[in-house]
């Protein structure tokens, strides 16, 4: 789960050097597409000062007629469904899955950084606490690329759609044993400075649009302990599931696709999968 937490932020893809140009924005054309579509790799939790869009990215959004994010941010049931899915079942509490010492570490960290401890937050799944944990680590109220792109689309009345449902997304993390998820949260709360340094280093590579460096940093991470099976579910399998959706949307109208940058690179990344299908996928630096 440690590596899963980093993957939520961004993480590089743990595979070979396919599609690892130094770019976050890609133009997709060819194979009968009447107009180009675009792919963009995001960093899911950032401080507002770090959320900056290049002119090329703004032009790509403007040139597109619809926006696809990982989730449909315009879905009125999204927030309610997400909150329901983020609750532990059967009235359980995170305190049930950790020792007294670990409870004290996590409770103290949450109380000090977000003003609420396990008494208030213990009914939530660990995934729900990730954003709060990293809000404390980053020392800011996080901003969101997804919300930014959804707002840009709304300003020009472009539809916003999703590559998957919130149920599909959360089900991936539900496969991880609860004890492992809790252990990761506690370890992050115990070593927030090390986690902060890793995020700062990852963000520097991200702002430099250096996907190869992001992948290298992720492999070297102290938090890289997740199972290959989980990472396959989190990245490769989702990438494969998205390709037919991306193809249909791009054939229908020029589309701007934005998702975690971890999904761009690697042999089983979206860039390489689309190239294997015969599309021209060009990095825009």
Asked if 273 and 239 count as a contact pair (C-beta separation under 8 A), the reply is yes
Tell me the pTM.
Answer: 0.90
Please state the domain extents for the chain: 2-284
Residues of the chain with pLDDT > 90, as a percent, come to: 60
Closest by CA position to 207, among listed 60, 47, 6: 47
Closest by CA position to 209, among listed 6, 27, 43: 43
CA dist., res. 136 & res. 190, Å (int): 12
pLDDT at 222: 63
pLDDT at 224: 53
pLDDT in tens, the chain (285 residues): 444 444 445 433 333 334 468 899 999 999 999 999 999 999 988 999 999 999 999 999 999 999 999 999 988 889 899 999 999 998 899 999 999 999 999 999 999 988 999 999 999 999 888 878 888 888 888 899 999 999 999 999 999 999 999 999 999 989 888 988 898 889 889 998 998 898 889 999 999 999 888 767 876 666 555 677 888 888 899 999 999 999 999 999 999 999 999 899 888 999 999 999 999 999 998
Write out pLDDT tens, residues 138-192: 888 889 999 999 999 999 999 999 999 999 999 998 988 898 889 888 988 999 8
């Amino acid at each position: 789960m440690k590596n899963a937490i980093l993957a939520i932020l961004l993480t590089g893809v743990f595979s070979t050097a396919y599609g690892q140009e130094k770019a976050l924005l890609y133009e997709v054309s060819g194979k009968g597409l009447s107009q180009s579509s675009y792919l963009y790799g995001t960093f899911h939790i950032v401080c507002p000062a770090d959320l900056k869009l290049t002119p090329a990215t703004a032009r790509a959004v403007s040139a597109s007629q619809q926006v696809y994010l990982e989730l449909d941010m315009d879905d009125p049931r999204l927030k309610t469904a997400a909150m329901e899915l983020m609750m532990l079942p059967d009235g359980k509490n995170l305190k049930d899955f950790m020792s007294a010492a670990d409870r004290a570490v996590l409770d103290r960290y949450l109380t000090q950084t977000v003003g609420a401890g396990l008494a208030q937050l213990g009914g939530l799944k660990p995934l729900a606490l990730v954003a709060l944990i990293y809000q404390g680590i980053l020392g800011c109220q996080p901003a969101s690329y997804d919300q930014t792109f959804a707002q840009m689309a709304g300003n020009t009345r472009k539809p916003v759609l999703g590559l998957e449902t919130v149920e599909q997304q959360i089900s991936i993390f539900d496969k991880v044993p609860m004890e492992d998820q809790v252990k990761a949260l506690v370890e992050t709360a115990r070593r927030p400075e090390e986690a902060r340094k890793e995020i700062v280093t990852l963000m520097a590579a991200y702002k430099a649009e250096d996907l190869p460096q992001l992948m290298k940093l992720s492999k070297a991470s102290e938090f890289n302990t997740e199972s290959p099976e989980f990472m396959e579910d989190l990245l490769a399998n989702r990438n494969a599931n998205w390709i037919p959706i991306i193809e249909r949307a791009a054939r229908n109208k020029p589309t701007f696709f934005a998702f975690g940058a971890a999904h761009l690179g690697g042999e089983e990344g979206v860039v390489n999968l689309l190239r294997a299908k015969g599309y021209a996928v060009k990095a825009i630096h």
